[in-house]
Amino acid sequence: MEENFSAALKDIERIHKLSEKEMRAAELADQAAEELAGSEFQHYLNHEVNPDYIRIAEKYGLFGLPISEEYGGSGSGLLSAVLVNQRFGQLGLGFPTFYDVNIFIGASSLARWGTEEQKSACLKPLAHGKSIIAFGLTEPEAGSEPTAMKTTYTKEGSEYVLNGTKYLITNGSIADHIIIFAKSEEDGKSITAFLVKTKENGFSVEMNLHEKIGLFTSDTAMLRLENLHAEKENILGEEGKGMHVAYSALLNGRLGIASGCIGVIEGSLKAAVSRAQERVQHGKLIGKHQLIQRHIAEMRENLEMARWPTYSAALRKSEYDKNPSDRTFTEEMDLRTALAKKIASRLAFESADRAVQVYGGFGYSLLAPVGALFCDSRVSRIYEGTDEIMELKIAEGVLGKGFEAFE
């Protein structure tokens, strides 16, 4: 096992005794990440989506980890998924983003809101990597303000007809199912979540976004819905209550991103330490120059500062999931997950930047192990709630009622 990953496991054990299943999840994640590393590096250099994600996650049983045994998973709990994203984050955020949308967002939404039919059709195959999920909330004119969405549904007899565009959708062109959010044409405000197959008539991939400034190995697509027909059975949660589905999914999703960011910090630190211990300038190892030591010390501090809000939020979230209708608990989770994401993503970006600095000129290249970490970590401060939106949530959580950021 990677030295700093096993150190991380020891650190968790200071606040939580890992179960056998969680330990097993960590071992599997470690082996799987080890196996993925070569192809991830190559596909990153080529700016290609990595097709091995599904195969590797399926081979090591990673999809099913937090899914209950009843639906084909191993019931290993949320912390297992955190450990997976943390370990893979050492390679960059491509796999953690893929896994986040499938598991932290997709599986958790189905487990909480899905009917038995939806769970059979989607959650069970997902547990074995046989169905990939995407989450379609963002639109060209509705990002931080998702309720401004323009995708609509109209009722035609017993059917719902959806039209619109979804943009920047992770797994968008590789997914089998997608959770799509649309607004009632009739009243112009009720938002409903639909779980639909991507192979349905009326669904198409308009564009793959290849021109990102990082995250090359993760699929990002723009999707078009043109008279897509859905049934009542496709509604996820209650009609008109789609934003409850969206917000609960993002609580979990933010933990997935924070976990990947811990991995980015671990990867940055590991790479910087090895460079500092072998590169000689001015007659000595650069690790013996105190200004380089400061970068190393700051990265180690960042790791410590990112771990606790993330682990403690994940442990609280596991408790919360037993009673998700408790309003006070929901507010606490909103605050804790925003803290975890905001802190971990900022520190990941800062750590990757420091690692590039320790590497010098070679670090400003995708050939160095720090290049992907630097390019990928920037997006963690944007997707699933920008830094600014997280700050508003944190302030709201601290100031309390009457200080809500949004009506």
Interface residues toward ligand FAD, by CB under 6 A = 101, 135-138, 143-144, 168-170, 212, 215, 220, 379, 382-384, 386, 388-389
Residue whose CB is less far from ligand FAD, 78 or 257? 257
By DSSP bridging, strand 284-285 and strand 280-281 are: antiparallel
Give least dist CB 363 to ligand FAD, A: 23
Which of 132/389 has CB closer to ligand FAD?
Answer: 389
Crossing angle for the helix pair 327-359 and 387-399, nearest 10 degrees?
A: 140
Note if 141 is an active site residue. no
- Which entry of 22, 40, 139, 384 is annotated as an active-site residue? 384
At closest approach, how far in Å is the CB of 93 from ligand FAD?
Answer: 9
Q: How far is the CB of 112 from ligand FAD (least distance, A)?
A: 18
Distance of CA 388 to the CA centre of its chain: 18
Closest CA to 54 of 132, 109, 125: 132
Instruction: Give the distance between the most distant pair of CA atoms in the chain.
Output: 80
Residue 101: CB minimum distance to ligand FAD, A: 5
Indicate the residue among 296 and 335 with the shorter CB distance to ligand FAD.
335
For residue 250, the minimal CB distance to ligand FAD (Å) is 9
What's the min distance (Å) between Cβ of 24 and ligand FAD?
A: 29
Nearer to ligand FAD, 118 or 170 (CB): 170
- Beta strands 220-230; 159-170: pairing state: antiparallel
What whole-number distance in Å separates Cα of residue 64 and Cα of residue 69? 8
Shortest Cβ 20–ligand FAD spacing (Å): 33
Return the number of the residue (312 or 386) whose C-beta is nearest ligand FAD. Answer: 386
Nearer to ligand FAD, 19 or 144 (CB): 144
Residue whose C-beta lies closest to ligand FAD: 143
Residue 240 sits at φ, ψ, to 5 deg, of 85, -5
Is the Cβ of residue 271 or residue 379 nearer to ligand FAD in the bound state? 379
What is the set of active-site residues?
384
